Structure 1
């Protein structure tokens, strides 16, 4: 493994060939991508050999201003690589020990599970701590007012697995890591990032608080229509899991540091540690290896913003794509792969259409369900007349398909949580980028329930004469 990592960094830091991608080529590609995806706004940066090849913005923000390379964007879980970097700067200063328990270095951290005392800092960053959305109350944590408050609210939670035995993506890991940065670094997390990460790299437009750097509202796509919406007020300001607000210009400086070029924040060995996958999963510390491309990448998804960062050990290129929108289909990764293809002299695959097609299908389903529901109401009396003499069990069997969407709606958050490997999903979240799917399910459930209720009432009316004939006469 050590030999492999040394070779990887040698590839990234030896004099690479001259870039084959030009600013003009990037602009041409991005204008086409913006038109094809229909995104309201997007900013990108491409780096190579210690330099920014091109940084630019396209489209508009929610206040009608042109998006540029200096437009602040929330980058969501891309923040995790910044938190890992903050930890590593403290590791190098002897303030934090990667392989010692978190509880020994953060005494306020306690859980209602004795195994939590064994969680190491490395396991937090590798997401192998045993923490999981399935065993902590994410709703309670999201209402925390600070990292200290967040940590205290874990007191009644338990682990889902023994530390170091299973990988599970959980934001709690990185919020705990951010609190550890505060304690070991002796200052608020945002201040530490400013002083030890953003500042040394010259990232003057980056922060973890919208009181310091304010992004415009993001957008959600509702059946093809982009609506500006404020981000959900969950625990976000100052968080280590998804709080970073930055620009394409600043991300260029960050990517150069991550490829081992430019002024280093930490030693190369620390970079290797952060980017190396574990034996359990191809996930390092805020970086994940793409088996298909060989790139190190990490996506970020909030409810009104999406982003992705990537570095290529093969070519030495770095990429970041950020959008001020969130939808059921995330185009940022596809755009990043297109930029990757350009950097390697290949023709990018077409991007766009996925969101539009998916939302069109959902809209057609919703309209069809509404139409069938109306038809079911109009034909309820005929349906009841034909089945008035049928056994009750057979009638309920016929009604069951109409009620299945209502049952699915009742279990909607839990079903999505199961499909997302236990990630917590709330009703409020389902009104954001999943809104087209939520609306379609709601319309289908209401249409089915209305048709079922109307048929039951019609059946009751149809059976009334029969019940009257069977009722004994008065005085009999």
Structure 2
């Protein structure tokens, strides 16, 4: 770990300066956690990031929610394969908690409702999802689903008879001795502020979808304490088992019960990542090696910093390598006209139109770029980042599945 500590001390400030982020990194190896911090929490205040600063972990919260669900399963209080409506009266979609944990429920993934921040916020949020449409049959397609994890949070509330945040603090944060915050109201000067184009984000958005990742904040060190608890608890090992293959974006990824399995070579790797208006968070764990890294950032090119942390630290300690990202073929085939059309889901629109030289123009949420054929069922963006779109029947898949209209 001496080399790791030296890398953190020397290299992190360089990366932060190069890519314009404020950041914390923590590394778990040989049972010890080393961490470092660099940059500022807010360009408005100039407050410096320390290893004790708190960052929103955004969608990594989903693993915390999944852990609370798994505890209920371990206690015999919840069956992952029984309908959600067995627990939530009035919830009409015929789906199971397993569908929700694995993002295969088929319900629109980005249905966001601001129902406040009171103890009834999640109950009200889920009530508005009671008649949510299903884009595809349960279990048919993986499609990242924020809405589903808010439903899981409501299941936790009903079976524990307490507000979700209270359960999270009592069952996870307090036993681990972690300093976390669960609402924006708890934020202080020690909290990182999101940045977009170098400017602080003053309105982080609604926090009523807590279980999906709106407000939970902590340090990178505390996030790894949670990860270490997972590795030391045999009853949670089932959460790391592959449940469903993801569409083939070129990275051989699958999904467990809340965990992403990103398809590294050299050994098993699990993790999750998150983003929330100018903030980004990354967690990777090699369970067989007892190695983990957490990176929490505000502003700038967080992905570039993450790639350095993975390649220079995580891969070296765990003996694993992240999958190579696909690139456009040197001589791509013309794009099949069957891909042309307009596809929609909640919060997203994809319009595919013909362009010159066998290419197509893909307008994804008003961001128009040229794509070429990657293979028979997929397109890839010509310029970096080389986004991949996978087509399945009348769906286009970009992490979310959108339906042809």
Same fold (TM over 0.5): yes
Contact 1:47–1:255, Cα closer than 8 Å, also in 2: no
The correspondence for 2:24, drawn from 36, 40, 43, is 43
Q: Distance in 1 between matches of 2:100 and 2:50?
A: 35
Q: Structure 1 residues 326 and 22 mapped into 2: Cα distance closer, same or farther (>3 Å)? A: closer
CA deviation string 1:350-372 (max 9, x = no partner): xxxxxxxxxxxxxxxxxxxxxxx
Quick check: 1:412 aligned with 2:393?
Answer: no
Structure-2 residue corresponding to 1:124:
100
5+ residue gaps in structure 1?
A: 1-18, 111-115, 349-400, 402-406, 425-476
Q: Which has more helix, going by share of residues?
A: 1
334-343 or 184-193, larger mean C-alpha shift: 334-343
Structure-2 residue corresponding to 1:273:
238
Q: Structure 1 residues 26 and 410 mapped into 2: Cα distance closer, same or farther (>3 Å)? A: closer
CA deviation string 1:174-201 (max 9, x = no partner): 1110111111111111110000011111
The alignment of Structure 1 onto Structure 2 pairs a total of residues equal to 323
TM-score of the pair, normalised by structure 1: 0.61
What secondary structure sits across from 2:134 in the alignment?
coil
The correspondence for 1:103, drawn from 63, 67, 85, is 85
Shift of 1:36: 2.3
Structure-2 residue corresponding to 1:339:
313
Q: Distance in 2 between matches of 1:183 and 1:347?
A: 41
Shift of 1:311: 0.5
Contact 2:281–2:297, Cα closer than 8 Å, also in 1: yes
The correspondence for 1:162, drawn from 127, 137, 149, is 137
What secondary structure sits across from 1:181 in the alignment?
helix
Alignment of 1:43-122 (within 5 A): 43-52=24-33, 54-62=34-42, 63-110=45-92, 116-117=93-94, 119-122=95-98
Q: Which has more strand, going by share of residues?
A: 2
Q: Distance in 2 between matches of 1:165 and 1:156?
A: 20
RMSD: 3.1
Shift of 1:413: 7.3
Structure-2 residue corresponding to 1:32:
14
CA deviation string 1:154-186 (max 9, x = no partner): 133211122122211010111110111111111
Alignment of 1:173-188 (within 5 A): 173-188=148-163
Quick check: 1:310 aligned with 2:264?
Answer: no
TM-score of the pair, normalised by structure 2: 0.72
Structure-1 residue corresponding to 2:169:
194
141-150 or 66-75, larger mean C-alpha shift: 141-150
5+ residue gaps in structure 2?
A: 247-253, 323-354, 356-360, 370-386, 390-395
